[in-house]
Amino acid sequence: MDPRGTKRGAEKTEVAEPRNKLPRPAPSLPTDPALYSGPFPFYRRPSELGCFSLDAQRQYHGDARALRYYSPPPTNGPGPNFDLRDGYPDRYQPRDEEVQERLDHLLCWLLEHRGRLEGGPGWLAEAIVTWRGHLTKLLTTPYEQQEGWQLAASRFQGTLYLSEVETPNARAQRLARPPLLRELMYMGYKFEQYMCADKPGSSPDPSGEVNTNVAFCSVLRSRLGSHPLLFSGEVDCTDPQTPSTQPPTCYVELKTSKEMHSPRQWRSFYRHKLLKWWAQSFLPGVPNVVAGFRNPEGFVSSLKTFPTMKMFDYVRNDRDGWNPSVCMNFCAAFLSFAQSTVVQDDPRLVHLFSWEPGGPVTVSVHRDAPYAFLPIWYVEAMTQDFPLPPKTPSPK
């Protein structure tokens, strides 16, 4: 059937229909890499606005108490021999993944600091507020072939807030997570414990528990193209030895990966894992990722530092490699798409952006539960209170 109608007689009334009443195709955004291979877009050097910590009970503190200190084994010594399975499962306190925290901890920080944000009054009203991890997923979308995502978006007092929604697929996979995968997750945190000390001068203590409730988060300001950004990301540790001790350049991201033995294995690592590592650390300006390579028995005996800004070199001449410009151009295009889709300013209204590999980003509209994510305590405090002046006179 011709949706426009083939009956000549009906044509006149249809043509007379006002332009804005014509059926419009639902808006969507394509994700093919070829569409985003322009020059690298503007990305403001990320600056740290502040930080916060989550304790062993997942309670928020507006300070750096959970920050740890990079403390690798001495380079002249025997080298590492970390047993990443040690303490599993008896010394493991995993975070409760059923608790959907959404943007809450970041909003808590923002509520406290909204009156004295750099960028001047009105900066926040133009900004996009989200987690670093959500932006990482946007950056890698043009190359992702496995896992889709959903991002809920609400506009409130001008600001666009983006909060991830666990997809039905992701939830099913999490609930059915195989025991070996659970142990592998533990091993990543155990590696951090072998590499980090609680105080600048001291040594790591691998005898303690691994509690994944504990987190140190940096809050950063940047801008992608015309989009001012305020986002927060969990930071593994700071390097007390680094020449520039100023965040985020002092921060170090720690990763584990399978030991590799063939050029084919290395190539696949560069194509897939380095893309994710690059996207995650480039966004907040973390300059180095330190990898521990584990053998099949779960021991790390070698470390390698990957400077974030050199990661692209490994795939620069690879036809099946990734390109940072594609990642950033797609992210900028998505942010423009979201900004123009979410027109109404209403914290109870949610535009849900959904993506599955092979398709475009699509949109659906919702009100209140279960998708609305800006908490009542945040909306009320932002609505009733005026932003506070600085608590103490500026030291400058």
Position closest to ligand GDP via CB: 133
* Whether the Cβ atoms of residue 93 and residue 210 lie closer than 8 Å to each other: yes
Q: Is 210 in the site for ligand GDP (CB under 6 A)?
A: no
Cα torsion angle, 175, 180, 186, 192, sign: negative
Annotate each residue in 97-126 with x if it binds ligand GDP (CB under 6 A) or - if it does not, as one string. x---x---x---------------------
Q: Is 136 in the site for ligand GDP (CB under 6 A)?
A: yes
Q: Is 131 in the site for ligand GDP (CB under 6 A)?
A: yes
Question: Considering only 33-41, 109-117, 157-165, 235-243, which stretch makes contact with Mg ion by CB under 5 A?
Answer: 235-243
Residue 133, binding choice from Mg ion, ligand GDP, none, Cβ under 5 to 8 Å by partner class: ligand GDP
For residue 390, the SS3 value is coil
For residue 265, the SS3 value is helix
* Whether the Cβ atoms of residue 270 and residue 321 lie closer than 8 Å to each other: yes
Q: Is 286 in the site for Mg ion (CB under 5 A)?
A: no
Q: What is the DSSP letter of 112?
A: H
Q: Which is nearer to ligand GDP, 31 or 212 (CB)?
A: 212
Q: How many residues does the chain have?
A: 396
Q: Is 308 in the site for ligand GDP (CB under 6 A)?
A: no
Q: How far is the CB of 95 from ligand GDP (least distance, A)?
A: 7
Q: Is 54 in the site for Mg ion (CB under 5 A)?
A: no
Q: Is 233 in the site for ligand GDP (CB under 6 A)?
A: yes
Among 66, 252, 254, 382, binds Mg ion (CB under 5 A): 254
Among 160, 210, 217, 361, binds ligand GDP (CB under 6 A): 217
Give the DSSP H/E element, type plus range, for residue 23: none
38 Cβ contact partners less than 8 Å away, ≥ 6 residues apart: 325, 329
Q: Is 222 in the site for ligand GDP (CB under 6 A)?
A: no
CA 368 to chain centre: 24
Q: Is 86 in the site for Mg ion (CB under 5 A)?
A: no
229 Cβ contact partners less than 8 Å away, ≥ 6 residues apart: 127, 128, 130, 135, 220, 221, 222, 223
Where in 68-97 is the site for ligand GDP (CB under 6 A)?
Answer: 97
Q: Measured at the alpha carbon of residue 373, what is the angle toward residues 99 and 26, in degrees to the nearest 5?
A: 120
Q: How far is the CB of 288 from ligand GDP (least distance, A)?
A: 16
Can you name the residues that pair with 154 across neighbouring β-strands? Answer: 161
Q: Measured at the alpha carbon of residue 110, what is the angle toward residues 106 and 112, in degrees to the nearest 5?
A: 120
Q: Which residues bind ligand GDP (CB under 6 A)?
A: 97, 101, 105, 131-133, 136, 215, 217, 233-234, 280
Q: Which residues bind Mg ion (CB under 5 A)?
A: 236, 254
